[in-house]
Amino acid sequence: MVNPERLLHEFLELCRVDSVSGQERQLCDLLKARLGALGLTVREDQAGAFGNGTAGNIIAHLPATVPDRPRLLFCAHMDTVEPGRGVKPVVGADGIIRSAGDTILGADDKAGIAAVIEAIRVVQENKLAHSGVTVVFTIREETGLVGAKALDAGIQADYGFVLDATGQPGEIVVRAPSQDKLTATVYGRAAHAGVNPEAGINAIYVAAQAIAAMQLGRIDPETTANIGTINGGKAVNIVPDTVYLEGEVRSLKKERRAAHTALICRILEETAQKAGARVEVNVELLYEGFDLSAAAPVVRFTREAMSLCGLEPVLTQSGGGSDANILNARGIPTVNLATGMENVHTTGEEIAVADLVALTRLVLELIRLAGNG
C-alpha cells in the first residue's frame, strides 16, 4: 500500500528545504502542516529557546482506534549538518539518490521523516486499525541531542522507534554508548620567549605532555577516547600561559566510561602539578547508553514486524549516540532502525530508493502489527 512515487516526491521535497541545526523553522512549519492535514494533533514545544534556535520539537499524536495495544512512538530529527543549504537531490539511473555533489543530501534524517509521513498517510487512507501513534520530530540532534533532551517528560509510549541509523533496513541498533565530554584549561605562566623563557611555564607543552601520556582511540572493544580540539597561545614570542582542550570518552559500559574519564582527569592534574602549572577540568555526561536484550519486548516486536514485511532482522550496536539514548533514559524502550542512508555527513551521502521504500513498509508494518495483534 505504500506509494513509492509519492514517497520519493515527499523525500526529495524535504531534502530541498534548508534545515541546518538551529535553523529548522521552514521545515518545522512544513511538517506541522503535513501532520495536521493527516489528522494528527500537532504541537511545537519550546526546545528552540535553548541556544536561540528558530524552532522547537514537533510532537504529534494519532489517537488509537483499538484499545489495550502497545502505543508506538516514531522519532526522527529535522536538522542536518553543513554543508546543508541549497541541496539539489538527484535520482540516478541506478536508483540511488545523491546530492549534486556540493552539499550533503539530508537523508540523515529526512529519510526517517518521509517514511513516517508516508506510513501514516497509508494508515489514514485505508482506515487501518492502530493502537495510537506519537510522532516526534526533533531539532538539533546533530549538535548534541539538544531537542530530545528538552522533550516533555510526559510523552508516553510502550515502544519507541528512532529512524536514524546507517546501514540497511533490517538492522536494529539495540546497544549504544554513554558519552562524557571533557573540557580542560591548563594555566601556566607567561614570559618573553626570547628574553626570559625560564620564567615561564608553557601551558601548551604541559598539555602536550598530558595528552602523550593518555590512552586514546580504541581503548577496548566497547570503549573509545579522543582529544578533539586544542587551542592556546597569543604570539610566537610569548610563552603561552593558557591552553584549552576538549575531548570525549564513550563506552557501552558506563563503568568503563567513568573509569577512563577519571584516568584522563588524573593525568591532566598530575602532569600540571609536576610542571608547576594548574588545570581546571570539567566533565559533562552528554547522554546515557542503552542495552536492550534480544528478549526485550520492543526488540521481539520489531523482529516480528520485519519478518512480516520480508526483512531479515539483524541486531547491531552503535558507537554513537542518537535520540534513542534519550528516549530509553526517559523510560521508553526504544530501538534505532537503519534507514539505508550511507556516507552521512559528507557530500557523498546517498540512499537507495528501494531502501527508502523498505523502511516505509517497515514503519507501516509496525503500526499494523500493533493495531491487529
Same domain, 20 and 162: yes
User: What's the pTM?
Assistant: 0.94
Same domain, 138 and 150: yes
pLDDT tens for residues 193-209?
999 999 999 999 999 99
Examine the pLDDT at 238 and tell me if it is beyond 90: yes
The domain boundary, picked from 287, 302, 337, lies at: 287
Q: How many domains does the chain have?
A: 2
CA quadruple 270, 274, 275, 276: dihedral positive or negative?
Answer: positive
Same domain, 222 and 297: no
The domain boundary, picked from 265, 287, 309, lies at: 287
The continuous run of DSSP H or E covering 241 comes out as none
Q: In the 8-state DSSP scheme, what is residue 214?
A: S
Q: Return the pLDDT at 345.
A: 98
Q: Return the pLDDT at 168.
A: 98
Strands 350-352 and 96-98: antiparallel
Examine the pLDDT at 373 and tell me if it is beyond 90: no
pLDDT (mean) for 316-334: 97
Same domain, 304 and 359: yes
Percent of the chain with pLDDT over 90: 98
CA distance 31 to 54: 15
Residues 130/367, Cβ–Cβ less than 8 Å: yes
Same domain, 136 and 223: no
pLDDT tens for residues 357-372?
999 999 999 999 999 9
Percent of the chain with pLDDT over 70: 100
pLDDT tens for residues 95-148?
999 999 999 999 999 999 999 999 999 999 999 999 999 999 999 999 999 999
Neighbours of 315 (CB within 10 A): 16
Same domain, 220 and 358: no
The domain boundary, picked from 287, 318, 348, lies at: 287
Q: Return the pLDDT at 140.
A: 97
Task: List the CATH number of the domain containing 231.
Answer: 3.30.70.360
Same domain, 133 and 277: no
pLDDT (mean) for 143-154: 94
Q: Which residues contact 134 (CB under 8 A, 6 or more apart)?
A: 59, 60, 61, 62, 71, 72, 73, 74, 155, 156, 157
141 is catalytic: yes
Same domain, 194 and 261: yes
Residue 34 lies in domain: 4-176+289-372
Query: Confidence class of residue 43 from pLDDT cuts 50, 70 and 90?
Result: very high
Given the residues 10, 44, 118, 141, the one annotated as active site: 141
pLDDT tens for residues 56-86?
999 999 999 999 999 999 999 999 999 999 9
Examine the pLDDT at 188 and tell me if it is beyond 90: yes
Same domain, 52 and 166: yes
Distances (CA, A) of 346 to 98, 99, 106, 319, 356: 11, 10, 10, 18, 19
Same domain, 204 and 277: yes
CA distance 150 to 13: 28
pLDDT (mean) for 35-57: 95
Same domain, 124 and 267: no
Query: Confidence class of residue 323 from pLDDT cuts 50, 70 and 90?
Result: very high
Q: Return the pLDDT at 153.
A: 85
Give the cell for residue 217: 582511540
* Count of all residues that appear for the chain in the document: 373
Query: Confidence class of residue 51 from pLDDT cuts 50, 70 and 90?
Result: confident
Average predicted confidence (pLDDT) for the chain: 98
Q: Return the pLDDT at 19.
A: 98
Residues 139/78, Cβ–Cβ less than 8 Å: yes
Query: Confidence class of residue 52 from pLDDT cuts 50, 70 and 90?
Result: confident
355 labeled binding residue: no
Same domain, 323 and 339: yes
Task: List the CATH number of the domain containing 156.
Answer: 3.40.630.10
pLDDT (mean) for 33-62: 95
108 labeled binding residue: yes
The continuous run of DSSP H or E covering 324 comes out as helix 323-329
Residues 154/232, Cβ–Cβ less than 8 Å: no
